[in-house]
Structures are given as C-alpha cells and as structure tokens.
Structure 1
C-alpha cells in the first residue's frame, strides 16, 4: 500500500533532501527511521519519493512524500498499541526521528497518488532582513541579512517578468535528460509591515507582542515545479535589481536569453522554505502524474 507522509524540517544541518553516501540528508534520516521501525534488512530498504527535492540548507514547512509498504510489514509495528498500522507508524516515527524533522501526518494515499508527479504546484518563500537591521536570533537560521535597503517595487517589476511559461536556463540547471522550462503562476515581493499578534488591546500604552516576520522582505513564488537552484537564483537576481547593482533591462535579457553566467548564481540557502505543495482532486491524481512526466517544451 502507498502512504502519504506530510513533514517539516529545519534544513540547516542537512545536505539537502536526497540521500548521499556519508552525508546527513532528510531522505537518509527518514528511510533509516522507517527501516528501523519496520525491522527491514538493507536489501529491503524502503524508497521515499518526495514532492520537492530541497537543496542543502533549504527548509520545508509543507513537504510531501510517499512510500510503498506491504500491509503485513506495516502492521508489524503496531505491537501492543490499540490502533492501526498507519497510526502506529506515525507515533513511532515521531519518537525515532531527530528533532529537526517533524512528521505532520501519515495517511493512506488515494489511488494514483504520486508525491512528485501528481503535484499541481509548489509554493516557496524566501525571507530577507534588509537595511542592516538586526535579525531576530530566533529566526537567524531562516532569514538572510543584507546591509542594503531593498527597493521592493523594482524587485516586483523583475518578478513580474517570471510569471508564465518560460525557459529559466539563466537561473537553473536541468536534471540529466530534463529541461529548465517551468510555469510560474505567481511571484511577488512583500515588505511585511510591523504589526502585533494582537491588534486590539485594552491598554493602548501596554506592550504589544510583535509578529515574528515584522519588517522582513519576503518573496513568494508559486510554480508547477522548479528546476535545480531556480528559486535561489531568481531571488539573487531580484536582489541585485533591488539594491541597484543591476537594472530591469538586465533581468529582462536574462529571461529572454536562457544562458547561465556568474551574476545569476544562487543566493544563500538559509532564507528559503518550501511552504506548501498542492494536489488536484483524488480522481485527477493519476492523470496529472501521467501528464507531468512528459518532457516540457515552450510550445506545449
């Protein structure tokens, strides 16, 4: 049977999602925990398929993955718990996994569900503290600090050029046999206003608890999928426009001529979080997976 696993992780101490020999990765930790709980030998290790393969240092709030497991093996983890195999596995994973990986839920996947290929869109957010302001130490692993004051309006002019179906070859590298053509649905920079968690208080002179993201500059981008380093490279290019080092014409040329060069490399990973993965209704999952496996072209 196929299980859907929704999880979150702090990517700061991981070499990305994908399993790599000798390196600590999210996939490696999750697959090791599953093998331990289900008492699987090395030659029967489970493979976990993920919606978005995050890079080294990138975080996830709403990551989704799936794993296939025989029902009798799943039920073997119930032990003395008065519950079913799925709930038993979720409970045990929460105790076995390290603190920087959190299981949000485990469920039986609908027919045709594929965590990667069934996804309709992924949402990423990049968080920046600009103008040399001090970063809240609680957010230091999730926010990039830069000394310049950013021009958010100029950055939004650049971001608007990314919306639609484009070849993002100036900002990404394809997987072997793959492509850098992607469809960006929304891309927007926002300066979060200084605000309090409680908007009304009985004592106007009293202390108001500030919202954690107050004052940050945040980039939200939604696309059907993302190529390797695409989001961080787009953020880097937008920041160069926002701090005055590059202009909008330069950004437009990079969109029109999909060729990598030094000024469009990826920015620091720490500010990037995979926030959400969206899927179609259950009855459309298999068709979506079949369609997305086809290699993209700008004409299609």
Structure 2
C-alpha cells in the first residue's frame, strides 16, 4: 500500500466531524471546491483507467471521507503536465459536511502535489463548467542564460532571448471572436470558435509571463497560442504569419505546442448567483448548436 493510500485509509477511519454518513432521506447539497495542483506527475485532470489523474485522486479521497462515491465536475480539464492554482470543481452529496474541517482533513492525506484550498456550499444552479464566464491562464518562461532555476524548473520553461514588442503585436492580433481551428486539436462535435479576451506578455527581469484569458479554451489552445507567438519573438516567424493562422479551418502543423509544464490555470470567473441559471442555459445552448453569424451579432458566446 502506498503512503497516499495509507493516509487515505487512516483519514477515512477518523471521526473528526468533517462529514456525517450520507442520509438517504436528506436532499443533496452542492459544494464548490477550489483546487491547486502541480501537474507534473498527473496524466491530466480527467479520470483515465490505469493512469494517475487529478480527478481520480480527488474523487477517491473525497469518497473515502464522505463514505459515498463522489463525482466532480470541473471548470477546466487540464492536460497532462499542466498545473492549476485556481481550478474550480463541484460535487453533490447527501452527507452533512463541515467545510472548514473537511479542508483540514483532506490536507492530512491527499498527496503533496494536490490540495483542496477551499470548500463552500454553492447554489443548486452553480455548475463549475457551464456557469464559468471566463478562464485565466498564465504561461511562465525565463530567458536567463542558465535556464530555469532548480526551484521553479517544474513550472517555468527556458527560452532564448525574444523580441517582446513583436510578440505583443502578434498576440494582440488574435484578440476577439475567431475560429481558432489552427491552434486546436479538434474534438468530434466541438466548436473551435472562441472569444480571446486577453493575451498579454509581461517581462520581469529574466522572467517572461503570458497572460491568456477567454470564455473557454479548446484542447491545447493556450499552449499553441504561446508556441506560435514565441516563434515570432525568436525571429522564426512574423506577426503577420500569426494573424494569418486565423483564416485556417484545421489544425496547423506549422504551430508548435509549447511544453505543458509552463502553463497554469490561475482563476475562473463566475456570474452572480442570480445569473447562474441563465448562464448555464446559454452555455449549453451554444455547445449544442453553434451559429457564428448569430454570435457576431451579439448572441451567446461559445463555451
């Protein structure tokens, strides 16, 4: 039995009052989780048989504490190696949960590379995925001649000196509502149209951070955006080349996907509680039937 499994078993055996046994006559309550993890040793967020994933570890641990199966719904299904500082998920349970005690108890036996940083009750209309209006990522680079510092090497990517102004020109051309097919790995039935709301590059000494925000992102989109603009900064491509990628309707083989470990999901924005139901309906509608001309006239934004 691994250290994590022993700690989980011990934690489940404790009776600290963080949760009671589920009551079949009790109406389920919804809880929001705020989550942080180092994605290095995970094969992404989503549960996969035979692989260590963030969802799998969290659901197993929560299930033992709450004494019932737990199914998490998440804001952003991060890829293998990608980190999170502000991931959000929700679950429903008929157990009576003391949120403060549960945060402390989970910290005792979760593995060191994942933490639940906050738990609170949420309205029934709250959906970590469909209620989200904006997701924020940061991609961290260093141009230091010695590469990434050993203490940050798991979350910072070393690169050559770059032309920052050229990169800013290229990234700003991508802002707005576009079909980002050239930057996405297509999934069956999923749209590649997104509204890119922020794409800024900020230098602090040898450190160079890309701040990227959108209503949602398709598979590998953020790392592809970074890889394309980084090629401009290194002089291998022009800003005009990046802008021209928006005209393509399929994944571009000329776009390099930046390494996963430089990327972190830092925050997810949600509307006021009174607007949750409307947001859920809007997002689900757009995912079911996507109409680009309607979006350009001011309709619902894509997931």
If the length of structure 1 is used for normalisation, what is the TM-score?
0.84
| Structure with more contact order per residue of length (Cα contacts < 8 Å, sep ≥ 6) | 1
Instruction: Report the alpha carbon displacement of residue 241 of structure 1 after superposing the two structures with TM.
Output: 0.7
Consecutive unaligned residues of structure 1, counting only runs of 5 or more, are 76-83, 195-214
Q: Distance in 1 between matches of 2:163 and 2:291?
A: 34
Superimposed CA distance per residue, residues 47-105 of structure 1 (whole angstroms, 9 cap, x where no aligned partner):
100000100000000000000111xxx23xxxxxxxx5333332322222111111111
Structure 2 counterparts to residues 60-79 of structure 1, below 5 A: 60-70=84-94, 74-75=95-96
Go from structure 1 to structure 2 and tell me whether the alpha carbon gap of 1:258 and 1:131 turns closer, same or farther (over 3 Å shift): farther
Residue number in structure 2 paired with 1:81: none
Is the Cα–Cα contact under 8 Å of residues 137 and 266 in structure 2 kept in the other structure?
A: yes
Is the Cα–Cα contact under 8 Å of residues 174 and 243 in structure 2 kept in the other structure?
A: no
Residue number in structure 2 paired with 1:26: 54
Indicate yes or no: 2:231 matched with 1:240. yes
Is the Cα–Cα contact under 8 Å of residues 187 and 222 in structure 1 kept in the other structure?
A: yes
Indicate yes or no: 2:276 matched with 1:285. yes
Residue number in structure 1 paired with 2:31: 3
If the length of structure 2 is used for normalisation, what is the TM-score?
0.83
Superimposed CA distance per residue, residues 106-146 of structure 1 (whole angstroms, 9 cap, x where no aligned partner):
00012410001101101000011126343221110000012
Residue number in structure 2 paired with 1:210: none
Residue number in structure 1 paired with 2:140: 127
Q: Distance in 2 between matches of 1:174 and 1:92?
A: 40
| Corresponding residue SS for 2:132 | coil
Residue number in structure 2 paired with 1:107: 120
Is the Cα–Cα contact under 8 Å of residues 161 and 255 in structure 1 kept in the other structure?
A: no
Residue number in structure 2 paired with 1:230: 221
Residue number in structure 2 paired with 1:220: 211
| Corresponding residue SS for 2:167 | helix
Is the Cα–Cα contact under 8 Å of residues 186 and 251 in structure 2 kept in the other structure?
A: no
Structure 2 counterparts to residues 1-300 of structure 1, below 5 A: 1-40=29-68, 45-70=69-94, 74-75=95-96, 85-130=98-143, 132-146=145-159, 148-192=160-204, 194=205, 215-293=206-284, 294-295=286-287, 296-299=290-293, 300=295
Q: Distance in 2 between matches of 1:268 and 1:59?
A: 12
Consecutive unaligned residues of structure 2, counting only runs of 5 or more, are 1-28, 296-303
Is the Cα–Cα contact under 8 Å of residues 144 and 270 in structure 1 kept in the other structure?
A: yes
Residue number in structure 2 paired with 1:211: none
